[in-house]
Amino acid sequence: MTALAGLRIGVVTRSLALAGGTEVYVQRLLCAQQQLGAQTSVFTDDGAPQAGHFDLAGALNESLHPLHRASAACVQAAADAIAARCDMVEFHGSAPTALLQALQRRLPVLLYAHTAELTCPAGGRILLRSGGVCSRAPGVACLGVDLSQGCLSGQQGEPFAMLQKLRAPLRGKLSRQAVALAWAAVFNSYALEGLFHATVGVPGRSYVLQPPLPQPHLVEVDRDSQRLLFSGRLQGFKGLHEAIALCAALPATHLAVAGTGPAEAAAREQAARLGIADRVQFLGWLDAPALAREMARASCLLMPGRWFEAWGMTGPEAVAQGCGVVAFDVGGVREWCRQPWGSLVPAGNEPALREAVQARLAENPPPAQRAQWAQDAQAQWGAQAFAWRYAQIASRAQERATAKRVVKVIHFERAPGPGYYSIENLFATVRRNLPGDIDVAMIRAPWVGRGVLRRLLNLRFARKLKAEVVHVVGDAHYLVLGLQPQRAVLTIHDCVNLVRSRGLKLRLIRKYYFERPMALAAATTVISPRTLRELEEFGLRGAHPPTVIANCVSDRFATGATGKRDGNKLLMIGTLPHKNLESVVKALRGGPWQLHVVGGLSGAQRELLADSGLVWRNSVGLDDGGMIRAYLEADALVFASLYEGFGMPVVEAQAAGLPVVTSSIEPLNWVAGDGALLIDPRDGSQIRAAIESLSGDTELRGRLVTAGFANLQRFAPANIASQYAAVYRTVAAEAKAPRA
């Protein structure tokens, strides 16, 4: 592979002499860059760089201790050294704002977040005394939390506990500055990205690049059906105490502990106190081959840590050796710990942990099945898949580095509120895939738009936005009224507010959400021909004819699903009246299906499901990782909606390898293409017949999955993003053109 031939990449990290997860990630990233033909320069700050590396001589001090700022001369020398050797630069596990600022205008800067450190002065988001995970933004509030939890002062062996407390208020400010200065931010899980967005802020471009597995090498050793393995730094919040207690509760098992750390002495005492010292083996720190061998010997890897696990690299590595995993549901673990190789348990639920381990040991899959696990893991997280995903990110940065003309764009979103994620997720995908000559930032309106006063405050905020193009990406159309008309772009997703409103409310919505914004915007886009036709039926044309730019399927749903499903697990998304949940449940009453309903249920809907005779469960507020998991665990999507502006679940399900049953109405029939069974959403007999045919016909399911994958080419993220980029370039050029 020479996809990045000649591109000069700088990798900045504190040190490569350590053996932590960040260092392993960076080493494997360097291998991927070499495979892709890039020229890499490594910049460290440990005072003892390896051959071929460059020492930044203290320029990263701020990342370690925000009160220890490097001198201006030191920062400038580091920036000159990096800029002279690189076309783009990546910062790993460090975010020195002074150095980022010095480089911002000279080359694209990518900020990699590997752990929760940038969102937490203590580095782990663990509430030591309660055992929970902190959800607060870093800043002054951390000092109050420390009084009750000791999370800043309870770090074992930490010589700068007082300094750590003093720097707590600075962490949030510095992290937010770093986000604003970076061209893009890269996270190793969707969970870490979501945490970062919630506590620090949302960068314009945000990518997820999950850690790669080592080169495939399945170790051939005799597996012990009762051997448990714990691997990681031996600290209390990593779950070593729970692992030893579990071993004591299961008399036939024995536990291997791989790692070192401050909790080792207490762990040995615990094992002796419980009378299982002979069944707990402390292996110390293991190099990669030795650890792989231990994973191949064990039947179950334990990950009962309660802190925020950004990814949990040990888990996929164990799966790649055919070793099953049982883990607490924390952070990014849920994104890979799934059946058949992984069992996820609610964090802190030790009885559920014991039951899951017993079930996994009793299962004892044959060697052929374990070999398939290893193969599937390599397909999803192996070096080749990682290099391909990295190349997509780096090529965008390469475009930015060579662009002769850069357009500054702001995506202006509605204020965040409960259930607000579909539009936000859509345009996060668009931002990731915009060409490199589009510099994009994301800004949210500060007030949830309920009431006249809050809308006026949002308009006042909108007047402060400065960019060549400001794109109101949907729903809060009135925000265009506060923008410079010649620089405003508006996207309209549907006309449901017009369809459902009457009287004065209809007149106000028509005027201030549609007529005036469309008249002022320099460009208007709609997401489907159905929405365009509805606007025409309401007599809404605007100053410029709207352009149809379809929604793109999120690149996060490209899961590599195998399609090995039996057809009885049905996924249903949405519970509002037009989602038609009631008709589907009545149609399936008494059947063999298991329903997973995503969305908040009313009391009446719960009663209906309880009386249906169906096995069902409900999920509310799923993050990206949770939604991906929901698709992967399902056999088919049932989306019998009565009204949609587009219908994102249809293409998301197709991307996840699911057959789809959906309504034969516009735009769902246009969106689904040939990759779905179309039904009349008001005819229960059609709904049931379609789902029965899917359950009983493997060949039909296979045809729909294949057709679904083919259909996705119409909604490829790069294609849709390039259409928006063309709109931005046109609007920016016309805004600069002299007026007649």
In the structure, what pLDDT confidence band is assigned to residue 66 with cuts at 50, 70 and 90?
A: low
In the structure, what pLDDT confidence band is assigned to residue 423 with cuts at 50, 70 and 90?
A: confident
Q: Residues 332, 311: contact at Cβ < 8 Å?
A: yes
Task: Return the C-alpha torsion angle 291, 296, 298, 300, nearest 10.
Answer: 100
DSSP state of 510: I
pLDDT at 574 over 60: yes
The closest alpha carbon to 659, from 596, 569, 536, 541, belongs to 569
Residue 668: predicted pLDDT: 94
Cα-Cα-Cα-Cα dihedral sign, residues 257, 262, 268, 273: negative
User: Percent of the chain at pLDDT above 90?
Assistant: 56
Q: What is the pLDDT of residues 598-623, one digit of tens each?
A: 999 999 999 999 999 999 999 987 77
The predicted model gives 61-90 an average pLDDT of: 82
pLDDT at 155 over 60: no
The token pair at 41 is 């320069």
Q: Residues 402, 437: contact at Cβ < 8 Å?
A: no
Residue that is written with structure tokens 């536990």 in the block: 255
DSSP state of 436: T
Instruction: Please give the full DSSP string across 160-182, using - where no structure is assigned.
Output: THHHHHHHHHHHHHHHHHHHHH-
Range with lowest mean pLDDT among 268-272, 681-685, 695-699: 695-699
The token pair at 727 is 């709109």
Residue 233: predicted pLDDT: 84
Residue 675: predicted pLDDT: 92
Q: Residues 403, 371: contact at Cβ < 8 Å?
A: no
The token pair at 642 is 């009565």
Domains of the chain (ranges, CATH numbers):
8-208 (3.40.50), 227-376 (3.40.50.2000), 406-548 (3.40.50.2000), 555-715 (3.40.50.2000)
In the structure, what pLDDT confidence band is assigned to residue 6 with cuts at 50, 70 and 90?
A: confident
Residue 510: predicted pLDDT: 93
Cis? peptide before 340, omega within 30° of 0? yes
The token pair at 552 is 């793109």
DSSP state of 147: H
Residue 415: predicted pLDDT: 83
pLDDT at 339 over 60: yes
The predicted model gives 15-28 an average pLDDT of: 79
Q: Residues 203, 176: contact at Cβ < 8 Å?
A: no
The closest alpha carbon to 140, from 131, 132, 152, 129, belongs to 152
Residue 325: predicted pLDDT: 97
Strand ranges of the sheet holding 569-573, from the earlier edge strand across to the other edge: 615-619, 594-598, 569-573, 636-639, 660-663, 677-679
Judging by beta carbons within 10 Å of its beta carbon (0-12, 13-18, 19+), is residue 661 exposed, middle or buried?
Answer: buried
Give ∠ CA 63-69-73 in degrees, rounded to 5: 115
Strand ranges of the sheet holding 407-413, from the earlier edge strand across to the other edge: 438-444, 407-413, 469-472, 488-492, 523-526, 547-548
The token pair at 40 is 């890499």
pLDDT at 738 over 80: no
Range among 166-180, 215-229, 659-673 rated most confident? 659-673
The predicted model gives 628-651 an average pLDDT of: 90
228 C-beta neighbours (distance < 10 Å), count: 26
Q: Could you tell me how many helices (H) and strands (E) the chain has, helices first?
A: 28, 25
Backbone conformation region of residue 131, classed left if phi is above 0, alpha if psi is from -120 to 50, else beta: left
Residue 97: predicted pLDDT: 86
pLDDT at 402 over 60: yes
Q: What is the pLDDT of residues 267-316, one digit of tens each?
A: 999 999 999 999 999 999 998 899 999 999 999 999 998 888 899 999 99
Residue 562: predicted pLDDT: 46
DSSP state of 334: G
